[in-house]
């Protein structure tokens, strides 16, 4: 079933948010057509977020997700998004920060930090957001200043605790960015 293109769905290689006040960004990845957690998080944060980013492997039409929120929604193609019209990478500018979003499956080895840093430097960005591993992480390279973030998987986590995860990026008034990892409680756990 084809869904009409929502006005908030952005499919572009570069997006500059200079004219939009972005303070809170929801960052998710690897939902793999299991949207229960994703839709709960969108409902919880929809009145507070200014932008939503999906780092690929949603395995559905991106419109299915974009229609759940009013905020701008940017997504990139993952290795499981076979029919996707979305780009593999998108470069964002938010409050003077250059950010590259990509699924991450193209890197040599799932945890190749050196390749990721090189990709960030080649694209002249200070932040690289990736998914693919289903494991959340944050890495700041002191030598280059590049920050790499991965929200993990909102639906199919692979880390030791098995908890679905996502990230919230807060952009403070002075322009600094803060990445807050969030884990969803498993059913039956306190």
Domain of 83, CATH number, reads: 3.60.21.10
Domain of residue 175 covers 22-183
166 has a pLDDT exceeding 50: yes
- Is residue 177 situated within a structural domain? yes
The end-to-end CA distance of the chain, in Å, is 39
Residues for the chain: how many in total?
A: 190
Q: 4 in a domain, yes or no? A: no
**pLDDT one-digit tens code per residue, 1-57:** 566 788 999 999 999 998 889 999 999 999 988 899 999 999 999 999 999 999 999
The total of structural domains in the chain comes to 1
Domain membership flag for residue 129: yes
**Residue 15: partners with Cβ closer than 8 Å, 6 or more residues away:** 74, 90, 91, 92, 93
In-domain check, residue 64: yes
Do the domain assignments include residue 10?
Answer: no
Those residues whose C-beta lies under 8 Å from the C-beta of residue 47, and which sit 6 or more positions away, are none
What is the model's pTM? 0.92
């Amino acid at each position: 079933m084809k869904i009409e293109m929502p006005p908030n769905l952005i499919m572009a290689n570069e997006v500059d948010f200079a004219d939009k006040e972005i303070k809170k960004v929801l960052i998710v990845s690897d939902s793999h057509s299991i949207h229960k957690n994703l839709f709960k998080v969108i409902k919880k944060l929809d009145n507070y977020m200014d932008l939503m980013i999906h780092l690929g492997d949603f395995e559905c039409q991106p419109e299915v997700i974009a229609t759940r929120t009013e905020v701008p929604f940017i997504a990139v193609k993952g290795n499981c998004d076979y029919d996707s019209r979305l780009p593999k990478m998108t470069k964002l500018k938010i409050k003077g920060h250059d950010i590259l979003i990509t699924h991450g499956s193209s890197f040599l080895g799932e945890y190749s930090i050196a390749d990721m840093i090189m990709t960030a430097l080649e694209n002249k960005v200070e932040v690289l957001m990736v998914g693919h591993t289903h494991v959340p992480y944050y890495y700041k390279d002191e030598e280059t200043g590049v920050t790499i973030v991965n929200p993990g998987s909102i639906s199919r986590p692979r880390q030791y605790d098995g908890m679905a995860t996502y990230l919230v990026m807060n952009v403070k008034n002075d322009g600094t960015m803060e990445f807050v990892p969030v884990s969803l409680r498993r059913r039956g756990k306190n």
